[in-house]
Structure 1
């Protein structure tokens, strides 16, 4: 039961990604052809491969991680605080720092990772980028040979489905219906490419990413029937 989980054993996270290069023309010829083939179904006849390239960040083979925000609960005398911080910079450093966090602080069998749509996006994306960069997978992302009930991942999208596998609920919609402060009050995912490459404003993206991480934690509290965090309960490191 979700109410029996120890909140202090859960690492909440969110990632932001962009295409690996700013422009389609920056890719070598082989990668351009591969992108054209990979994106053909999604863009159909509406866009050329070059016009569709600003969306390449959603594929780990054509994108890169620009930040990973993580958060965790501290509970003292029934008082909850939530600490959030962000890894950013060169992607290989982001991945190594994140792996080090998992290997040193979230490595026990009862430790869990939690994200919204994490099982479809965040967790496999991080794992794929680690393999591409030659970073050894931490145990929490190495799913080879694990049975479904052994996978240490929580997904608030999956929890909200209650077994309804045809339903998709965005983080923005779920926060709205559950009365959680919206993390989308500045930018949304479709704007990250522009803010990163054109504005070159990583701080704005970090702020957005941390708000998503906090929102995931708040959603889990609501699913457990618990009070939401107040702003003073959230500590940015």
Structure 2
């Protein structure tokens, strides 16, 4: 009898997972400083070298600095939003909350959540493009701040199947590693309400530095977390969350 395909295995395993054992998350990042001029002279040179491949001859290093938030070495996290399912008397609730403000503080608080409530082998972290962005970004910023990595982010020596991470982008790829599908596109084609009803990732920097509106960023980040949970429900062929089932705490 032939072994089931990778796609079949993923679908079967996904349905076997208990939703309450998954912590859904999303992060919002911005450049470490508002402007390129605030960098030290050494950091300016390092940024020029780091960004030269992406910007080519189209932008100067200073002009390209608006995009520095996508690199952990030059950006910082301003918000980590998480969500998790609870079940009581056959009723489900999806609770969201956010860690915000000073980066070292929010990272420490996020680590505390992982260590106290999501530290067992059964627990998983789930994000969209999390394996390429969210998870390594959080880990790198923790190390920069001298924060010891929690077990769920410490991947040293772990085999691929031991990594406690789910990635909705990876699940959607079905082995097609050249494909990238944004969260906005994936929610649209799956019939899930879009989380990008107010702002998108390209606007976070301006909302943070120009508008000083962190609450708007937090709301956006929490909508992304809900969307990621909805995608997992869709993959499992279960009913999507209704507004009455979503609670911000």
Please, what TM-score do these two structures have when normalized by structure 1? 0.99
Task: Please say if 1:128 is aligned against 2:153.
Answer: no
1:213 matched residue in structure 2:
225
The runs of 5 or more residues in structure 1 that have no matched partner are none
Counterpart for residue 181 of structure 1: 193
How many pairs are equivalent?
Answer: 237
1:36 aligned onto 2:48: yes
The alignment yields a C-alpha RMSD, in angstroms, of: 0.5
**C-alpha deviations, 1:209-229, integer Å up to 9, x for none?**
000000000000000000000
What corresponds to 1:72 in structure 2? 84
CA–CA separation in structure 1 for the residues paired with 2:62 and 2:23: 37
Which of 204, 210, 213 is the aligned partner of 2:216?
Answer: 204
Distance 1:69 1:169 in 2: 21
Structure 1 position 81, deviation (Å)? 0.7
Corresponding residue number in structure 2 for 1:21 = 33
Aligned match for 1:119, one of 116, 119, 131: 131
CA deviation digits over 1:110-152, x for unaligned, max 9?
1000000000000000000000000010000000000000000
Correspondence for 1:90 among 82, 99, 102:
102
1:139 aligns with 2:151: yes
Per-residue deviation, residues 16-43 of structure 1 (Å, max 9, x unmatched): 0000000000000000000000000000
The whole-number CA distance in structure 2 between the counterparts of 1:110 and 1:194 is 39
Aligned equivalents of 2:241 and 2:91: distance in 1? 10
Partner of 2:24: 12
Displacement after TM superposition at 1:76 (Å): 1.9
Question: Would you say 1:109 and 2:121 are equivalent positions?
Answer: yes
TM-score (normalised: structure 2): 0.95
Structure 1 partner of 2:166: 154
Question: 1:191 corresponds to which residue?
Answer: 203
CA distance in 2 between counterparts of 1:217 and 1:149 reads 22
Aligned to 1:50, the other structure's residue is in SS state helix
